[in-house]
Amino acid sequence: MTMTRTHTSRRTDDQRRDSERSRRQSSVRTRQSSVRTRRSSVRTRVGGAALVLWALLSALACSYVFAVWLPTDAARYRDYEASEACLAHTAVRRLEDCRREVTFTVEDTVIQGGGKNVRYEATLTGAPYWNRTVAFGNTEPVLERLRPGDQVTATVWRGGIMTVSTQGLRQSTSDEPRDEPQAAAAIGTALGVFAVMALVFGAVQLTRPRDHAPYSLGGYGKPLLITMTVACVAVAAASLLLGIPWWIVPALVVPVVAARAWLLHRNRQASRPTETARRPGRF
C-alpha cells in the first residue's frame, strides 16, 4: 500500500514538472513570436515611410513634366515652326531666332547600333560657330552616307543644329523640336499614378503594418504597375500615330488603372472565406 502511494506521488510530480516545462516552452515561443511580429511591424513601417517619400518625389516630378516640360517643348516647337530664314546679308551671330543654312565639313561619324550603347553621331566642323557633335535618332537617310571630309549643309537655329542635308537628302537631328508631346504626357501620367499608388500603399503600411498584404508589390502593386505601363505606352503610341492631342493620355490611363484597382479589390473581397460562426453577443 505504501509502495503504491509512493509510486502515485512520483508520477504526479513527474506530470507536474512536465506541465511546468510545457508552460515555460510555450511562454518562450510566445515571446519569440511577439518579438518577430514587432520586428516585422517595424520593417513594414520603414517600408511605408520610404513609399511615402517616393510618392512625394514622384508627385514633384509629375508636376515638373506637366508644368514645365510640356509647355516648354510646345513653345519651342511653335517658335521653330514660326521662324523664317535669316536674311542673306545680316551679320552672323552665335544665337539667332532665324534659320540659317551653314556649310560644315564632316570630321567623323559614329554608327553604333544594338546593345545598350546606341550611338548615331556626326562631328561637324568648319563653321564660324556651332562646330560640334550632333546626334541622330537613326542612320537614314543622311548619316549612313556621310564620310570624313564630306561637305554638308545644316540648318542652325538658336545655336543648335536642327537638320543636316546632303545630295538632296535631309535628316533631322535629335535637337530639332518635334510636335510629339504624347511621350512626355505618358511619363508624367505614369509618375502621377505611381505617386498615388505609393502614397496609398505607404499610408496603409504605416497605419496597419500587420494587415497590409494587399497593399504591397505582391498584392495589388505588381498588376497595377503592369497595367499602368502597358496603358501609358499603348495610349501614347496610338495618340502619336493618329495625331490625337496629348491630354488623351492621362484622360484614358487614369480611369483604366482605377478600374483595374477596383477589380482587384472586388475579386479579393469575393475570394475571402465566409465566416461560419459569429461571436457570441454580450448579455
Digit-coded pLDDT (tens) for 239-265: 999 999 999 999 999 999 999 999 998
Domain assignment of residue 2, yes or no = no
**Pair 196, 261: CB distance under 8 Å:** no
Number of structural domains (the chain) is 2
Domain termination residue (choose one: 149, 172, 195)? 172
Return the higher-pLDDT residue of 88 and 63: 63
Mean pLDDT for all residues in the chain: 86
For residue 12, pLDDT over 70 is answered with no
> For a pLDDT cut of 70, what percent of the chain falls above it?
82
CATH number, domain of 142, equals 2.40.50
* pLDDT grade for 215, boundaries at 50, 70 and 90: confident
For residue 16, pLDDT over 70 is answered with no
Same domain, 57 and 190: yes
Domain assignment of residue 281, yes or no = no
pTM recorded for the entire structure: 0.77
Q: Residue 275's pLDDT is what?
A: 41
The x, y and z cell numbers of residue 195, run together, are 505617386
Domain assignment of residue 278, yes or no = no
Domain termination residue (choose one: 117, 146, 172)? 172
Q: Range of 197's domain?
A: 45-74+180-271
**Pair 170, 163: CB distance under 8 Å:** yes
Determine if residue 159 is left, alpha or beta; phi over 0 gives left, psi from -120 to 50 gives alpha, anything else beta.
left
pLDDT tens, 123-173?
Answer: 999 998 999 999 999 999 999 999 999 999 999 999 999 999 999 999 999
**Pair 198, 54: CB distance under 8 Å:** yes
Same domain, 250 and 197: yes
Domain termination residue (choose one: 172, 198, 213)? 172
* pLDDT grade for 44, boundaries at 50, 70 and 90: confident
- Highest mean pLDDT (candidates 17-26, 28-37, 126-135): 126-135
Which residues have C-beta within 8 Å of that of residue 5, sequence separation ≥ 6? none
**Pair 155, 98: CB distance under 8 Å:** no
Alpha helices in the chain (DSSP H): 2-64, 70-82, 181-207, 222-242, 248-271
Same domain, 110 and 238: no
Same domain, 117 and 167: yes
Domain assignment of residue 85, yes or no = no
pLDDT tens, 92-134?
Answer: 999 999 999 999 999 999 999 877 788 999 999 999 899 999 9
**Pair 143, 110: CB distance under 8 Å:** no
Q: Residue 281's pLDDT is what?
A: 42
Same domain, 195 and 242: yes
Q: Is the dihedral of CA 147, 152, 157, 162 positive or negative?
A: negative
* pLDDT grade for 82, boundaries at 50, 70 and 90: very high
HSE-CB of 128 using CA atoms within 13 angstroms: 9
For the sheet with 160-166, list strands across it: 132-135, 119-125, 100-112, 151-157, 160-166, 169-172
Same domain, 204 and 247: yes
Domain assignment of residue 164, yes or no = yes
For residue 203, pLDDT over 60 is answered with yes
